[in-house]
């Protein structure tokens, strides 16, 4: 009876001799797992760096330098790319250039190709494509973020506005010998035989020809002196046209 029961066991041992109890399948698996871990560790050292970073030989990551951007898998500073024109900027760690906002201008960096940040356009200036420009002479700008070439408008009559002005009445025109019409950046001298008009003595806005019986000197109109006469327009001398005949001029 016992011999009959042992026969299947003997048969299994004959058919599968590799299933010996002297072997340790878990030990072999442990070696395999250890080798796999070493392979993964070595491959991680050379894995691609993310965009915006540089991967050193030891696997550490550092941000791409401000003014430049880095594509993925950048492994050396020489592979950094200049940000571009003045219409873009690149802070440290940039994966790509950032477009300058409307009404802003780019700043920082060594030149227009390596800008690192942006600033809003200040009063007295306008910003187009990342470049700041002073408001033209004869105009003025009051607000931040200006983009119009005319800024807020023209300088008021009687005043002069230099480039970058923040007031429509930046500088009074000057003495009576000059005048300033709308949008003036340089006062205009009054012509000989004319006098300045409008505003005050320092904010004249135009000129007129001197009337008969008067003369004009340095933009100021005066009556011809007693004993002298002026029969034509545009006189500019104190003597006017000449002396009166006896009994004709006071």
- Domains, the chain, in order of start with CATH, read 46-118 (2.10.50), 210-250 (no CATH)
Give every CB contact of residue 140 below 8 A, 6+ residues apart in sequence: 124, 151, 152, 153, 154, 155, 161, 165, 166, 167, 168, 170
Provide the pLDDT confidence category of residue 96 given band limits of 50, 70 and 90.
very high
Query: Is 90 exceeded by the pLDDT of residue 6?
Result: no
Q: Which of 217, 216, 245, 210 is nearest to 229 (CA)?
A: 245
CA angle (204 as vertex; 198, 210 as ends), nearest 5? 70
Residue pLDDT, tens place only, 218-244: 999 999 998 898 999 999 999 998 888
Burial tier of 155 (Cβ tally within 10 Å: 0-12, 13-18, 19+): buried
Residue listed under structure tokens 């878990």: 26
Instruction: Answer whether 127's CB lies under 8 Å from 133's CB.
Output: yes
Mean pLDDT, residues 79-105: 97
pTM of the model: 0.72
User: What tens digit of pLDDT does each residue of 138-195 get?
Assistant: 999 999 999 999 999 999 999 999 999 999 999 999 999 999 999 999 999 999 999 9
Least confident of 61-65, 190-194, 243-247: 243-247
């Amino acid at each position: 009876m016992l011999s009959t029961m042992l026969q299947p066991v003997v048969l299994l041992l004959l058919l599968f001799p590799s299933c010996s109890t002297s072997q340790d399948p878990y030990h072999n698996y442990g070696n395999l797992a250890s080798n796999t871990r070493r392979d993964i560790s070595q491959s991680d050292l050379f894995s691609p760096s993310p965009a915006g970073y540089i991967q050193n030989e030891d696997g550490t990551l550092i941000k791409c330098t401000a003014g430049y951007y880095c594509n993925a898998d950048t492994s050396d500073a020489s592979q950094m790319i200049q940000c571009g024109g003045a219409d873009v900027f690149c802070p440290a760690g940039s994966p790509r250039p950032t477009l300058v906002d409307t009404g802003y201008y780019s700043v920082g960096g060594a030149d227009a190709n390596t800008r690192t940040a942006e600033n809003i356009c200040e009063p007295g200036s306008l910003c187009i494509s990342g470049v700041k420009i002073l408001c033209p002479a004869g105009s003025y700008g009051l607000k931040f973020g200006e983009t119009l070439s005319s800024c807020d408008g023209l300088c008021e009559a009687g005043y002069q506005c230099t480039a970058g002005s923040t007031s429509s009445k930046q500088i009074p025109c000057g003495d009576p010998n000059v005048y300033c019409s709308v949008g003036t950046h340089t006062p205009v001298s009054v012509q000989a035989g004319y006098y300045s008009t409008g505003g005050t003595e320092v904010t004249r806005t135009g000129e007129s020809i001197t009337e008969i019986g008067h003369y004009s000197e340095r933009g100021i109109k005066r009556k011809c002196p007693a004993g002298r006469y002026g029969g034509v327009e545009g006189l500019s001398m104190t003597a006017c046209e000449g002396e009166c005949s006896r009994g004709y001029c006071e």
